[in-house]
Structure 1
Amino acid sequence: MLAKRIQPMMAQARRLYVQVMFQVMGRALQAVSEVDDTVKKEALALPNGFLFEMMVMPNGPRMVVEHTGLGRFHYHGDEAPRPVDLSIRFKHIAHAFLVLSFQEKTAVAFANDRMLVDGDISYAVRMTRVLNRLESFILPKLIAQRAVKEYPRNLHLPQKLISGARIYLKVATNFVETVRA
């Protein structure tokens, strides 16, 4: 009996968690593109105006990020200003929760057929590398090693702390600016 009452609350909690994580990730993608040269170099290969979305099917939480040029990303929230160029879609909220709570690597989720990629695969690989780099900066090493396919060997503690702090500061500033607007 108790389980029947808890299940809907758990589903709502997962959905809220995924929604918040998409907001944080979108803002963090914008921030890391301002902070890290490796991310800028990866993003430079994307066309200007390139729109990337990550979402839960069919109408679940989503984030939309645009490459504005010069290796910079801009977070659009959950609304795309035009059709997206690349979409990574989780088939179910539980699948998104597994990845975004760092219980399952993105590559493993894809191998387990928990997500779909709609768009150019080379762009998807590039965006996955950007997301992995971001996670390496903003997560503790122990968790990041579980989340990314390969933790960067050349990412040392001082760089991680300084870049991570800059990213978190920019994310917090972006949240505050959004609330004020």
Structure 2
Amino acid sequence: MLAKPLRPMALQARRLYVELMFQVMGRALQGISEVDQVARDEARELPEGFLFEMMVRPRGPSLVVEHTGEGRFHYHGDNPPRPVDLSIQFKHIAHAFLVVSFQEKTSVAFAHDRMLVDGDIGYALRMTRILNRLEAFILPKLVASRAVKEYPANLKLPQKVLSAARIYLKVATQFFDTARAS
């Protein structure tokens, strides 16, 4: 009997966690595009003004980033300024939770039909590679190895630590700027 009242609380906790992780991921995508040349080279292939959204269906948490050119991203929060070009949509908050809590790889979630891609598959693969690179930088290797399809073999500890610190500094700066503006 105690389990029934806890279910809505667990669902709400998952939702809050996914929402926070989307905010961190959106800001970190902007950060990695300023810090890492490999990610910038991947993003450079996207058209300027390209809008990417990751969301939970039907009206769950989301993140929106825009390619502003030269491989740089700008985080828009959860409000796209115009229709998005690519949307990766989780079918349920529990599915998103599995991925953003690094219990399941994005590729596995897609294989298990837990998410939809609305837009060009080539762009979706490119954004997935950028997200995988981001996770390899900002997560401990043990966790990142579980989260990404293939951990970069050429990513050495000094580069990882320096890049992660720079990305986290940019994420923190963006959070403080947002809080100051409110």
| Counterpart position of 1:161 | 161
| Counterpart position of 2:88 | 88
| Counterpart position of 1:107 | 107
| Counterpart position of 2:125 | 125
- Give the SS at the match of 2:103: coil
Distance of 1:168 and 1:98 partners within structure 2: 22
Deviations 1:148-170 (A, max 9, x none): 00000000000000000000000
Distance of 1:60 and 1:5 partners within structure 2: 22
Two-structure CA RMSD over aligned residues (Å)? 0.3
Stretches of structure 1 lacking an aligned partner (at least 5 in a row): none
Deviation at 1:5, TM superposition (A): 1.2
Distance of 2:19 and 2:77 partners within structure 1: 10
Corresponding letter in the other structure for 2:87: S
1:32 aligns with 2:52: no
Deviations 1:69-88 (A, max 9, x none): 01000000000000000000
- Give the SS at the match of 1:84: coil
Deviant stretches of 4+, over 6 Å: none
Deviation at 1:28, TM superposition (A): 0.2
Deviations 1:28-47 (A, max 9, x none): 00000000000000000000
**Number of aligned pairs?**
181
Deviations 1:50-109 (A, max 9, x none): 000000000000000000001000000000000000000000000000000000000000
- Give the SS at the match of 2:48: coil
- Give the SS at the match of 1:149: coil
| Counterpart position of 2:75 | 75
Deviation at 1:121, TM superposition (A): 0.3
| Counterpart position of 1:42 | 42
1:144 aligns with 2:144: yes
Deviation at 1:23, TM superposition (A): 0.1
| Counterpart position of 2:61 | 61
- Give the SS at the match of 1:66: strand
TM-score, scaled to structure 1: 1.00
